[in-house]
Amino acid sequence: MKPTDRALSIFEAFGRAARPLTLSELADAAGLPISTSHGIVHTLVERGYLYLTSKRKDLYPTRRLFDLATRINANDPYLERLNPYLEALRETTQETVIIGKRQHDEIVYLAVHEGPQMIRYSSSAGSIKPLHSTSIGKALLSKLPDDALRAWADMQSLSPITSTTLTQTDALIEDVAQGRKAGFFVTRGESVSDVFAIAVPVSINNDVLGIAVAGPAHRMDPNINEIGRKLLVAKASIEMGQHRKTDEVT
């Protein structure tokens, strides 16, 4: 495990436990030798990221990491501009809204606005998903020329994530072609069973991101076209705002 992985595993262990931990509990939860954990914890305590909570020497993160993350998030080159559109989509669709970006052969979620309903699709920022099984992945693959798309698909294993994942090159290419005609891209339980998602590609900051609406199949299926329409309206508004900002600068 790399040094950065070890440090991150410490914070992830606190996230899972949701309580203070002793050094031995923390090492066990992080899957690290106690000697390794001791060195990392010593550094984090010295830097003000962890503190001792009791005579038992329980450890817990301070707000320093949260405050640092808040400052970083406030200056995200994409989210500050897109969040109002994402929140509006969440309200009008009553489903979970996701923004993602291509990272090699995967999608990384930059933000997730979970829907307000009790039964909803849940995920988190930083989640990584395959390109071929997600609606955002299909939306971003659609920006490739046909020959480049086929070359990419031929080099991938297109592993089945669920029983309905498209695992054949021709089937994936045809699905992307249908999405291009409709203007939006759909997955029907291909990434998570019983979850449908609809996505559009959005051009911003000379880059392309994907915005998706995801929810339970029984609610999404009858409303695919309507949700697709709402996504296209949001896409047009975002890209129009981007052009206006560029015009103001020039």
Let me know whether 82 and 10 are in one domain.
no
Least confident of 24-33, 42-51, 65-74, 208-217: 65-74
Place of tokens 């998903």: 129
Let me know whether 163 and 55 are in one domain.
no
Q: Determine which helix (DSSP H) or strand (DSSP E) holds 115, and give its type and residue range.
A: none
The string of pLDDT tens digits covering residues 48-71 is 989 988 767 899 999 898 888 888
Residues in the chain: 250
Number of domains forming the structure of the chain? 2
Let me know whether 159 and 99 are in one domain.
yes
Let me know whether 85 and 185 are in one domain.
yes
* Full residue range of the structural domain in which residue 224 is found: 76-249
The string of pLDDT tens digits covering residues 92-111 is 999 999 999 999 899 999 99
Let me know whether 42 and 150 are in one domain.
no
Let me know whether 60 and 172 are in one domain.
no
Let me know whether 82 and 202 are in one domain.
yes
Is pLDDT of 248 > 70? Answer: no
Q: How many CB atoms lie within 10 A of CB 60?
A: 15
Let me know whether 63 and 108 are in one domain.
no
Let me know whether 119 and 234 are in one domain.
yes
d(CA 250, CA 248): 6
Q: Determine which helix (DSSP H) or strand (DSSP E) holds 99, and give its type and residue range.
A: strand 96-103
Let me know whether 98 and 134 are in one domain.
yes
> Which of the listed residues 68, 96, 122 is the one where a domain comes to its end?
68
Regarding pTM above 0.85, the answer is no
